[in-house]
Amino acid sequence: MFADAQESQEENENEKWGFDLYPERRGAKYKPSLTKIALLGEGREQTDKIKCEKNVWYCAQSSPLVKLMLSALKSSGCEVDLERHVSCEVCDVTVSGGYDSELNQIVVCQNTARSEGLTQGVMTHELIHMFDYCRNKLDFKNIDHLACTEIRAANLAHCSFVSAVAQGDALPWKVAKAHQECVRTKAMYSVITTRNVSKEEAGAAVDRVFPRCYNDLEPIGRRIRRNSLDMHKAYKERFIYGYD
């Protein structure tokens, strides 16, 4: 009975930390229902996995941001082995990727991050988490630590004026702060997804660490604007931080 109770408690903790969004974590096997196969076209997991792995390899070879992050991790003593540290898996449809700090492994969701562009976004975002874990020894169960790395990932990998418009943060009277509001919104909802906490709790954590974490641009060194050469400039400037 005690063992059953302990197992139940561990399952609840795993759900609290978002592991339920990644059913293949910890050795589980995803099995689509007949309904999903018929209506949603599922049942081709192995084909999707191969395509996902090809996209990961392509990004590692061709994406300036992904190459920069891999270089920064290597220079920091945390070299990435794609086969060991990146896993393509079936995920809940609400997420496109994740970082498992316990296994030091990035998850790319093969059923939602289907294109090279989406894979690049997931890889960059999650590599920032991996970098923070490597360099700063983050405790992902500390909500302030989690909020900080989510702020940095949103700041460096996601938010542009277009993103801010899509999220409703770039109203005419908020243009000057549109990027910051986009980062706050993205980080807050990432914390909610990961920790299963209220919007108020997540927002408070983001607010507590926002100024310091928003201004920390390492290792990319700049905020990336959409449809610009910023990615290429950041990669060329990597030597400023001592990265190969």
Question: What residues act catalytically?
Answer: 126
Distances (CA, A) of 140 to 19, 49, 82, 146, 172: 13, 27, 22, 5, 36
* CA–CA gap between residue 201 and residue 199 (Å, rounded): 6
